[in-house]
Each structure stands twice: as structure tokens, then as C-alpha cells.
Amino acid sequence: MRNLTSIQPGPHRNRTAKLTELARSFQEWNSASNVIARLTRRLNMTLSLEAQLTILAEEVAASVPFDALHYRHRVAHQDFVFSTGVGGPHKCEYRLSLEGHCYGTLTFHRRQKFSEEELAGLEMLISAVIFPVRNACQYIAIEQAALTDPLTGIGNKRALIEALNCTSALSTRHGAPWSLILCDLDHFKQINDNHGHVVGDHMLVRVAEVLEGAVRDSDQVYRFGGEEFAVILPHTTEEAGKQVAERLRKAVENIRVDGGETPLTVTISCGMARHLSDEQPDQWLARADEALYRAKRSGRNCTRIASGIA
């Protein structure tokens, strides 16, 4: 690779000629009819993995007809699946590997068998995909890391706020019931003070695991603060939300963590609020927090429901 800082300017005429040649070369590349050049150009214009796979499907279909394309990869602890078309009995599969890392599996399906020439063409096209797909996967991982609590592996406060914004809009638009539960560990400071932060962190991890295990796949659990968790419940009424909060509270009561002579236990207080029509996310969160505060004042290890007034 040349060091750009070492290039010395020549006479004005030479610089003008070089710039003209560079502009012409870029224009030719930008308008290239060669499918590989066009595919590479289009792929490098986005970091969206879904958009890249859509572009790939379009370009491949123009050269090698197929009936279905399927892509699967686990990115940042989440399964990413992309499919287009309806499959046939014949297929060819490619594992996208680069520098010892796998960036997913591409599978093409067709009702008719692929010829050797078509397979060679597919392999040429797919070779142009690996680097852009690698970049897109890394971008997803970086984005996901910014929304994940590093200790527990669940969503962090930023992820919660984004989810509340989206959820509030959906609830208002469709009129579907959504509920929010805030959970706070009771007297958690005593665990840290008496047993150390390593034990305290282990307790937080166990609580996160238990909360996730006690809700549906469609429900989302977040670590909202130091020892505070939040759970968003789609299509859940106030009464159903209260039942979930009680189930979470009882599940946490059963946690046992090694604390030396006797196992450590912990309880949680819960505040639950259903989303009101046209309610802003911060208002919804504030009502759930107020209900949590009442649960704390009521002796802890209990659930309180927010008022229906925003």
C-alpha cells in the first residue's frame, strides 16, 4: 500500500492530467456493466446485512436463475435469517469464511439442477460478497454491544429506552395492551457490603437468568440500573401484567447463591404499569417507577400497580 503522504505535487499540468485520469477511471468503474464490479459497488454502499443480501439476490438472479435464497448466521448471540423465494429439490450451499471466521451460510435452491458453468458463476459472485458481509456482521455486533449490559448479557438502559419509544408508538397506533414491570432487588447493598462485589455480580446474573426464564419469548428483560430490572410485556393487560410480576417475584425468591456457610437469597419489589393511550414513554416509565416506590414503602417483596392517570 502506498503512503499517500509521500506523494509530492508535480507541475500543474501533470496534476490536472492525473486528476482527469482519476475522474475518468472512477466514472468507468461506477458505470461498469461487469456484474462483479457492479455487485461490489452496490454491496459497499451499505452496512445493512439485509440490504446486502437483497442486492446479492438481484444480481445473482440476473446471471444464474434460482428459485430461493436462504442465509443464516448467528450474529452477536442472535440468529439472523434471510430468505427469498420458494425452494426446489436441488441446492448448492456455501459457507462464507474469511481469516478463520465464519460469516454465515448461503444456500440457493432450484427446481432444476445447477450446471457446472452456473456453479462456477455463483462462486465468482459469492467471492465478492464475503468482505462486505463480514463488515456488516461486525457492524451488527458493535451496535448490539452498545445495547447490551456486559455483566448479564441482557439489554441495557439505552436498549430499554429505545424499546419503550417503539412500544409506546405501537400501543397508541394499534390500541393493543402493553405492560411494563420495574423490579428492584431488596437490600442488595447488604450483599455487596457483606460478601463482596463478585458475589453481588453473580447474584445479578442469576436474577437476569431467572427473569428471562420466567417470561415468554416475546417479552423483553432489561437491566435498567445497578440492581433494577425492567420487563416489557406485549399484548398484556393490567391484570395479566400483575400476574407476571408476581410470578417473577416468586421465581427470584427461589434463587440460591453460594455465600459461604449459608446460601444467599434475595427478593424483589415490583411496580407494574400498563401503557395508556397517547402516553409518552417517559410518562409510562415514571408511573411504573412510582408503583415500584410504593412497593418499597409497603415493606418490599411485593407488587404494586400504577394508577391509570398519566
Which candidate in 59, 118, 227, 228 is catalytic? 227
Q: What are phi and psi of 83, to 5 degrees?
A: -140, 145
Distance CA 168, CA 299 (A): 31
Quote the Cα angle for 246-249-252, to 5°. Answer: 150
b/e per residue 252-270 (b: at least 16 CB within 10 A): beebebebeeeebebbbbb
* Amino acid in the structure at residue 246: E
Burial classification of residue 218, based on how many CB atoms lie within 10 Å of its CB (0-12 exposed, 13-18 middle, 19 or more buried): exposed
Helix axis angle, 197-213 to 238-253, nearest 10°: 140
Report yes or no: 180 and 239 within 8 Å, Cβ to Cβ: no
Distance CA 128, CA 121 (A): 11
* Distances from the Cα of 246 to the Cα of 161, 215, 235, 241, 257, angstroms: 24, 11, 18, 9, 21
**117 part of the active site:** no
Report yes or no: 204 and 310 within 8 Å, Cβ to Cβ: no
Residue listed under C-alpha cell 419469548: 217
Report yes or no: 259 and 293 within 8 Å, Cβ to Cβ: no
Q: Please give the positions annotated as active site.
A: 227
